[in-house]
Every structure is written in C-alpha cells, then in structure tokens.
Structure 1
Amino acid sequence: MRKRWIKIVLALVLVIGAIAAYYIIPIYNFASHISNKSDQDTVFNKEQDKKNPPPKWERTDRVNILVLGSDSRESNKNERPRSDSMIVLSIDPVTKKAAMMSILRDLYVKIPDHGENRINAALAFGGPNLAMKTASDLLDIPIQYYVYTDFEGFISLVDAIGGITLDVEKDMKWVDSADKHVYDIDLKKGVQHMDGKTALQYVRFRHDNLHNIGRSERQRKFISAVFDKMKSFSSIVKLPLILNKMEPYIQTNIQPDDMTKLASLALNVNTSDIQSVQIPPNNLYNDKRINGMAVVTSDKKKLQQYVQDVFSGKIAEEAKLKAEKEKEKQANQSGENKSKKK
C-alpha cells in the first residue's frame, strides 16, 4: 500500500513538473529573446541604453514596470518615437496588491540633461532608460523595468490572445489622413469583441471633451481586460503560441529569471483589486501654455504623496466611501421621488 502511494505521489510530481515546464520554459525563452534588444538593431541606440541604468529589483520589495506605447508607425519610421502612452504597473510581492498609474503624456516635467518638456519626449531624447528615470524622479519611486511596443506590437498582442471584449462608452470617430487613413477611428457605442486594429482605435481616441484624460482611462480599462484574458484557461493553454506571436514586437530589460518570477507574481494578483489611477489626478491637474505648448502641470510634492497614498490603499478607501455615499444619495433621491408621486 505504501509503495502504491509513493508511486502516486511521484506520478503527481512528474505531472506538475511537466505542466510547470510547459509554461516556464516558453516564458524563459521569450524573455531571453526580447530582453536587451538594444544590443541588436532597434530604434534605440546602445549609448542611450547605457545611461541612467535602472535600480535592481530585490524580489521582496515593490516592483514597478513602465509600459511604453510609442507613436512609431510607417509615416515616421526614421524618427525617434515619443511615447503615446506611459503606464506604471506596480506590484507589492508581499501583499500581492497592484496599482496601475497612467501618466498623461502632456505632463510638463524635468527630463534629466534635457531641461523641461512634455514627459512623452523623454523616450525620444534618451530611450527607455531616460523615460524610466524621468518617471521615477517625477513619482519618487524606483522603476526597475520597462516594456516597450509600438502600434504593430499592440495589434499583434490583441490578435495573439484572440481579441478582447470591451464596452465602448460612446460613439468614436476620427479621420487621420497622415497615415493614409490606416489609423482612422470609427467605433459605435456598446459592448463588442475587438481585434487588434479595432482595440487600437479604442485606446487612441481622444477627440472629445475629456481629451487625454478620457484616453488614459480607456487605456487602463484595456490593460485590465487584457490581464483578465491572459489569466483565462484558454490563454494559459495557448501561452507558448501567444508569446511567440508577440516576440518580434516587444522590447524590455526584464531578464529571464525575473520574468518567470513576475509571471508567477502576476497570476496571484486579483484583477478586481488593482487600483487604476491617473497621474496627475484631477485635483492636481492644471492646463497651461508654456513656450507655445499646451501642457499639463502639477505640484510635484503633492503628486508624490498621492502615489504613496495609492500604494497604502488610502485612495482606494476614499473612492469606496465616495461611491457608497453617492449610492446612498441616489437611493434617498429615488425614495423621495416615489413619495412625491404618491
């Protein structure tokens, strides 16, 4: 009987090991191929990559990853791209709590060795390392890693996971003749399943009263949906194929060992608990014109305190209380209206 149990345990260990290898090996190989692509022929040169080296992640402290989406495309392939989106993904490996902070691209900041400018210029001036350093100085947090992609990479990612379902909050239409109408936007309000090109329209739209504020919110909404889809059974089964399709379009400094650790950590994060915020928040947001540029300014010290409040859970708690009060107010108003009708 004892020998039988030993055989069963060994069989389970072998099965678990095989399943782990099925996922760990593709993730490790994926990271090996895409990490430090600056050593190859990319839009960022080696000199840029050597400057402003990021801090090392010790695996027990909070990890911060800067996701950079560039505006690089056919019409400006010979130009160094600016960042069309900058989102900091932050995870505490101890509590498994995560935050997603989108930095408005027109935020006027100090870029090391390049004076003051919109933050999206940091990528063009000095590559991902300078973008990380600029965001790190702004938020007063260490940023250890970056993940970079362009329009083609975005489309490939969405198509690789079989598309994404999103609720489009309004009709969205915009004509862009600069790229021979390749990136025109034409979406109808309502829930719909999107392929890569359609999803790109959704996250790029900013031609309404909310401009970049609305767009940054849509980008965070999209990332949450992708995160959910990647954790689904169908995506996990197809993980090697998904990574293979994404590989040509992704650049990062995440090393293979750290990527497997981060993948494991991400699976333990509850998507519904991820804090999703805008940098700067509306109460610290100011529109200005500086040197002829329309920019956004914010109090740096207050902004840094806001980030710490996000990490501590204070902002989430305040948002929860505000939502409860609003719900209670609406319920009271509904009760009053019913009484009046009687």
Structure 2
Amino acid sequence: MKRSERKRKKSKHKGLRIFFLSLTIILVLGTIYWVYQFNSGQSLAGEGIDKEANTEFEPFEAEDPQFGEINVLLLGSDARGNDEDARSDSLMIAHYNQTTNEVKLVSVMRDTYVEIPEYGYQKINTAFALGGPELVRKTIKHNFDVDVHYYAMVDFTGFPKIIDVVAPDGIEVDIPYTMSHGIGMTLQPGKQTLHGEQLLGYVRFRHDIKSDYGRVERQQEVLSKVKDEAISVHSLLNLPKILGVVNPYIDTNVDNRTILTIGKGLLTGQAQGMETMRIPVENSFKEERLNRVGEVLTIDFEKNKQALQAFLSATDEVSDSDVDEGTSE
C-alpha cells in the first residue's frame, strides 16, 4: 500500500473518531441539559392533580382517530380546597387535523342541559363528577355524535406558573371594563400585558354583562395566544422546563407519539390562528331555571349536533352558514 493511501485511511479513521466523539459529547450535554431543565421546571411547580384519583372511574375507551383527525377532551377545574365538588369548571374539545395542521377549539357551556348515559338529564359538567373523563366522552357522543379520542385534565392552580414559563413576556389582552369580583385582584380596562396570576384572574372572571359567555370567550382568546407562544423558538429551547412545570398539573392519556406528531405539525405547518366555537350555538338554546338543578341551558340538540359536526369537519366540507353560526372568531 502506498504511503499516500495509508495517510488517507488514517485521516479518515481519525475523522470518524472525532465525529463520534463529538456526537457523544453533544448527546451527553443534551441529556444533562434536558434533565436539569426538567427538574428546574418541577421545582417551580407545586402539588397538582391527584392522578391516582382518576383510576376510580371507568377506563377511557375511545375509538382510534380516523383520517388523521384528533379530538382531545380538555377538562379544567379551578376548584379550591377539599370542600369543592369535582365538577369540571371548563369543558372543551381541541381538534387537530394532521393533513391541514388546523387547530380548532370548541367550548361547551358547563350549564348545557344534556342526557348523561345511565343518569338522565343533568348539566354537562356533572358528568365528570359521576364518572370521570369516560362518562364525559360518552355524554358528548350520546348527545352530539362526536368522538373524542383522548382526554387531558388540567388543574388551574398551575396555570400561572405554566404561563410564566411559556410566555415570560406575558400575554397582551384588551380588558373591556374593570374586573375584580371573585378573582382576588382588580384588573383595569384597556390594552395591557398580563402575566400568570393576572391572566388567571382574566379568564376566571364571570361577573359581567356576558356572565359565563364572556368567560368562555376569554378562555378561547388566551388559549389561542398561548398556543402561538408554545410553538415559538423560546418555548422550543425551554421545552424540558415547560414539561417539568406542566407535568404535576395535567393528567392525560395522550401518548408521546401523538404529542410529537401534533407538535411537529404545528411547527412545520402553514395553518395560522385557531378557529373557535361555542356550544350551544347562537339561537339554539334557552336559559331556564329547573327546580332540581337550578339554572340550565336547554338546547336544540339537532341544531347543535349538526353545527358541531360541521365545524370539526375538514375545511372544504364546512359550509359558510355553519361556520358563521357556530364560530366565535
């Protein structure tokens, strides 16, 4: 073998050794960074959801997603203390289309009067107390013929900490009037940037002329803006820390593969913004007071079922009239 060939071989082996050594160093440093950031996030979090409590309910037995369309049941609670009941304070359906990368959000008013399987007619937020996420899933399927494939239960006590990590510069909102009653603070009217605790007060406030309808609108507004922050470069760099903060406050059956699929789609997709909808839709319900359950929203089931199914369908299948009727943004 010629001397020049031996030198080339030696140089090639040396280059491979340097490459693998560099790769090993990067992986080790990356692992250390991930663990440190995750632990840092967990140290910021407090005691969150009792994830063992959900084992008392029936297992979540949803159908597998079809045609790349994923529906996630979001159950939120701002209950404080052990004397509070276990009813879900917020009930939403988050929809993700893997083909179009579209994100849609449906808020179901908690006083919507529906038939809960095996329990009869009740407010829809009662379903969680009676049977956990699985009974809520069955209730939505029974009344609206819509399948949800996963669930995520969120404890609002962790909301401020999550927001401050995801959006350290805060979220800009336009407060229409002074908000104070029932939120432990006073928010003045006008455009301003809110941080964790203030933003929680903003989405929880319901003592205004719109009552619970206004609160639903604010929740949708804030979640849309948080979604944009969550897929920013800042959040990608701080992903381990965000996961550490979020972990104690969310109980979910969404598997890691699905989370990565949705995350990749949001990062690489071209879809902008987030479409939102409220159930019941306009001109489809009445506010009534029933002796057994108090204030409820009695609804036109067929009208709401059709509007919800149309909204969650692919864009080219939804008529303009359906969207105008059901969408709040």
Report the TM-score range of the alignment, normalised by the length of the smaller protein.
0.7 to 0.9
User: SS of the counterpart of 1:158?
Assistant: helix
Residue type of the partner of 1:167?
Answer: V
Q: Distance in 1 between matches of 2:269 and 2:288?
A: 38
Q: Distance in 2 between matches of 1:197 and 1:234?
A: 21
Pair 1:295–1:269, CA change in 2 (3 A): farther
Q: TM-score, normalised by structure 2?
A: 0.77
Structure 1 residue 102 corresponds to structure 2 residue 107: yes
Per residue, is there more helix in 1 or in 2? 1
1:61-113 Cα offsets, whole Å, 9 max, x none, are 31001111113223xx2554211111111112122222111111111111122
2:253 aligned residue: 253
Residue type of the partner of 1:46?
Answer: T
Q: Distance in 2 between matches of 1:280 and 1:204?
A: 20
Pair 1:294–1:185, CA change in 2 (3 A): farther
Cα distance, 1:143 vs structure 2: 0.3
Maintained 8 Å contact 1:65/1:143: yes
Pair 1:280–1:93, CA change in 2 (3 A): same
Residue type of the partner of 2:63?
Answer: P
Pair 1:320–1:288, CA change in 2 (3 A): closer
2:308 aligned residue: 307
2:6 aligned residue: none
1:164 aligned residue: 170
1:87 aligned residue: 92
Maintained 8 Å contact 2:173/2:194: no
Q: Distance in 2 between matches of 1:262 and 1:301?
A: 31
Structure 1 residue 66 corresponds to structure 2 residue 73: yes
Cα distance, 1:120 vs structure 2: 1.0
Residue type of the partner of 1:85?
Answer: S
What aligned pairs does 1:1-342 form with structure 2 within 5 A after superposition?
Answer: 41-42=50-51, 44-50=53-59, 53-57=61-65, 60-74=67-81, 77=82, 79-161=84-166, 162=168, 164-176=170-182, 183-268=183-268, 272-291=272-291, 293-310=294-311, 311-313=313-315, 317-318=320-321
Pair 1:143–1:168, CA change in 2 (3 A): same
Maintained 8 Å contact 2:203/2:219: yes
User: SS of the counterpart of 1:91?
Assistant: strand
Maintained 8 Å contact 1:86/1:104: yes
Cα distance, 1:282 vs structure 2: 1.4
Q: Distance in 1 between matches of 2:318 and 2:178?
A: 31
Maintained 8 Å contact 2:180/2:186: yes
Maintained 8 Å contact 1:163/1:196: no
Cα distance, 1:196 vs structure 2: 1.6
1:240-280 Cα offsets, whole Å, 9 max, x none, are 11111111111101122222222223334556342111111
Q: Distance in 2 between matches of 1:315 and 1:218?
A: 25
User: SS of the counterpart of 1:282?
Assistant: coil
Q: Distance in 2 between matches of 1:46 and 1:70?
A: 18
Maintained 8 Å contact 2:224/2:273: no
Q: Distance in 1 between matches of 2:186 and 2:238?
A: 31
More divergent stretch after superposition (154-163 vs 264-273): 264-273
Q: Which runs of 5+ in 1 are unaligned?
A: 34-39, 177-182, 323-342
Maintained 8 Å contact 2:146/2:309: no
State the structure with more CA Rg: 2
User: SS of the counterpart of 1:187?
Assistant: coil
CA RMSD of aligned residues (A): 3.5
Cα distance, 1:172 vs structure 2: 3.4
Q: Distance in 2 between matches of 1:266 and 1:137?
A: 31
Pair 1:269–1:154, CA change in 2 (3 A): farther
User: SS of the counterpart of 2:99?
Assistant: coil
1:325 aligned residue: none
Pair 1:320–1:126, CA change in 2 (3 A): closer
How many pairs does the alignment contain? 293
Maintained 8 Å contact 1:133/1:143: no
Pair 1:269–1:72, CA change in 2 (3 A): farther
Q: Distance in 2 between matches of 1:112 and 1:266?
A: 35
Pair 1:137–1:166, CA change in 2 (3 A): farther
Residue type of the partner of 1:307?
Answer: L
